[in-house]
Structure 1
Amino acid sequence: MNRTVVITGTASGFGLDSVRLFASHGWNVVATVRKEKDLNVHDALPNVKTLLLDVNDEEADAAFAEQAVAQFGGVDVLVNNAGYYHMGPVEAGSMQQFHDQFQTNVFGLMALTKAFLPIFREQRSGVIINISSISADQGYPYTAVYAASKAAVAAFTEGLNVEMADFGVSAKAIFPGAHATRIFTKIDQAAGGVAAHYQDAMMRFFGNQGTGTSPAVTAQAIYEAATDQKIGKVRYYTGPDGVAIPRVKQLLGADWYWEEFRNAATGNPSDLWKSLVKQGDEPVEFAL
């Protein structure tokens, strides 16, 4: 019998490519979208059922697990991919934006995960895959609230991995570097005149970013996490920068790495930093 995966936030980016990848390997896929206009986005794919779900609605999250199980008679993997991206100086952001950031990336994710835990516990199997970010490994300027939400996802996933070990259930986190996804076209930016005071520094920081790698790279990592049967493995890094940055941090040590990163982020990268984080012809210092 084909295995079944539930993937949230599948209208574009990592979610869209993940649906295609799992379907190509013969999986049943329950794909969620937030808008009715996107309900037909997967119509050309076999064994894919597309359902409406706003992960911000915690009551809907709680009821969704049974609805997902009903589509194909069971669920083997949950991929919490739906996300929201707030950027800008902390001073210029509103508390509502900060709450929205955590509601989608953290509380919605937790609510949906909680709904599936009884199912996975009772069947004594299952994989929960949460999308974190390379920025969860440290605070990034002008995306500090986003990075904090993704750090919460990482810590939540690590704790859950241990909690569910006795039941044969694994929780894993994906740490993408810079990728060319539509999340960067759906940015909720900090507003207000105060943001103008940070404009030069923001341009300097984001100007060092490339367009990133294809989201298909992260989709492949998601598929690997779902199928490698490494129940104790939690962290999966993707993209050139997503892979390079943890290695650089390990090589330099946390304090020295932070000094080098901070200098680079403020526009004064050392020759050492340039040599460590450059791969090929594309700089990869500033992954989000």
Structure 2
Amino acid sequence: MSKTIVITGTNSGFGLAAVKRFASEGWNVVATVRKEEYLTVHDGITNVKTLLLDVSDEGAAEAFARDAIAAFGRVDALVNNAGYYQMGPLEASSMEQVHQQFQTNVFGLMALTKAFVPTFREQRSGVIVNLSSISGDQGYPYTSVYAASKAAVAAFSEGLNVELADFGVSVKAVFPGAHATRIFTKIDIAGNVPDDYQPGIQRFFGAQGTGSAPEVTVDAIWAAVVDGDQARVRYYSGPDGEIVPRAQQMLGRDWYWREFRNAALGNPSPLWKSMVRAGDEQVEFKL
């Protein structure tokens, strides 16, 4: 019997690529979109049921879980992919933006996960995969609130991994690096940014690459769902996503942070430049 996966936020980017991947591998897919205009985005993909869901609406989680299970009679995996990306200095960010960042990326994710846990616990199986970010592993400037939300996702995933282990349920987190998806066309940018911040913003984001294709991160999502490694939580994707934890391990977290901070302030060391070059060229990084 085919397995069933629920994937949130699937009208573009990682979510859409994941729907195509799992459907092509013979899975039944329950895919969510936030707006009615996207309900036809999966037309032509077999074994896909598309449902409306705004993940920031905590009150909708339990009813959605029931509908998702009813779609194919069972759910074997949940991928919490839907997210909200707010960018800008904290000083220029409204508290409404800060709350929305956490409402979507953390509280909504938790509510939806909570809605599926009883089913996974009762059937003594299930996989939950949460999308974090490399910025959740290490904070980035001018996206500090987003990074904080993704750090919360990482910690939540690690704690829940142990909490549900006795029931045969695996909880994983995927940490994408820079990626080329439409999330960057949907960024909520802080308004009224003081001119003092502009040199730093231009310096930092001007140094960022274009990123890897969504399919690179979908490979990590696929591995997290199917590899059967219940003890493993963290899955990194993309050249920079893979180099950052490796460099942290080699250099030590404090030393790596100093290297990153100096580079973000416009003073990259030769060592940092070699790491960036390794990421851009997708070659092995060595000290």
Task: Please state how far the C-alpha of 1:210 moved relative to its aligned partner.
Answer: 1.1
Which string of whole-angstrom CA distances, capped at 9 and with x for unpartnered residues, describes residues 6-44 of structure 1?
Answer: 000000000000000000000000000000000000011
Q: Percent identity?
A: 71
Contact 1:245 1:277 in 2 (8 A): no
Gaps of 5+ in 2: none
Measure, in 2, the Cα distance between the counterparts of 1:253 and 1:220: 28
- The change in CA–CA distance for 1:71 and 1:281 in structure 2 (over 3 A counts) is closer
Q: Residue 248 of structure 1 aligns with which residue? A: 247
After TM superposition, the structure 1 = structure 2 runs for residues 1-288 of structure 1, keeping only pairs within 5 Å, are 1-192=1-192, 194-279=193-278, 281-282=280-281
The number of residue pairs the alignment matches comes to 283
For residues 277 and 118 of structure 2, what CA distance do their matches in structure 1 show?
A: 45
Unpaired runs of 5+ residues, structure 1, are none
CA-CA distance at 1:270 after TM superposition: 0.1
Q: Determine the C-alpha separation between the residues in 1 that align with 2:116 and 2:279.
A: 42
Amino acid at match of 1:205: F
Instruction: Call closer, same or farther: CA 1:168–1:100 in 2, change over 3 Å.
Output: same
Instruction: Please say if residues 239 and 282 of structure 2, whose CA atoms lie closer than 8 Å, have aligned partners that are also in contact.
Output: no
The alpha carbon displacement at 1:220 in A equals 1.2
Contact preservation (8 Å) 1:237, 1:243: yes
- Judged with a 3 Å threshold, the aligned counterparts in structure 2 of structure 1 residues 142 and 283 are, in CA distance, closer, same or farther, namely farther
Once residues 116 and 78 of structure 1 are traced to their aligned partners in structure 2, the CA distance between those partners, rounded to angstroms, is 8
- Note if contact 1:176-1:239 (Cα within 8 Å) is conserved in structure 2: yes
Give the secondary structure class of the aligned counterpart of 2:17.
helix
> What is the alpha-carbon distance in structure 2 between the residues aligned to residue 30 and residue 209 of structure 1?
34
1-side partners of 2:37 and 2:276: how far apart?
A: 41
Residue type of the alignment partner of 1:91: E
State the alpha-carbon separation in 2 of the partners of residues 126 and 283 from structure 1.
Answer: 34
- Residues 281 and 216 of structure 1, relative CA distance in 2, 3 Å threshold: closer
Change (3 A) 1:281 1:117: closer
Aligned partner letter, 2:276: V
2:196 and 2:94 map into 1 onto residues whose CA distance is 16
1:278 partner SS: helix
- What SS does the aligned partner of 2:129 have? strand
Q: What is the letter of the counterpart of residue 234 of structure 1?
A: V
Residue aligned with 1:50, SS: strand
TM-score by length of 2: 0.97
Pair 1:75–1:280, CA change in 2 (3 A) = closer
Q: CA RMSD in A?
A: 1.2
Could you list the structure 1 runs, at least 4 aligned residues long, displaced by more than 6 angstroms after superposition.
Answer: none
Instruction: Give the CA deviation at 1:196.
Output: 2.5
- C-alpha distance in structure 2 between counterparts of 1:65 and 1:17, whole Å: 22
1:62 CA drift (Å)? 2.1
Structure 1 residues 254 and 260: CA distance shift in structure 2, 3 A = same
Q: Which amino acid aligns with 2:221?
A: I
Q: Decide whether the 8 Å contact of 1:174 with 1:238 is kept in 2.
A: yes
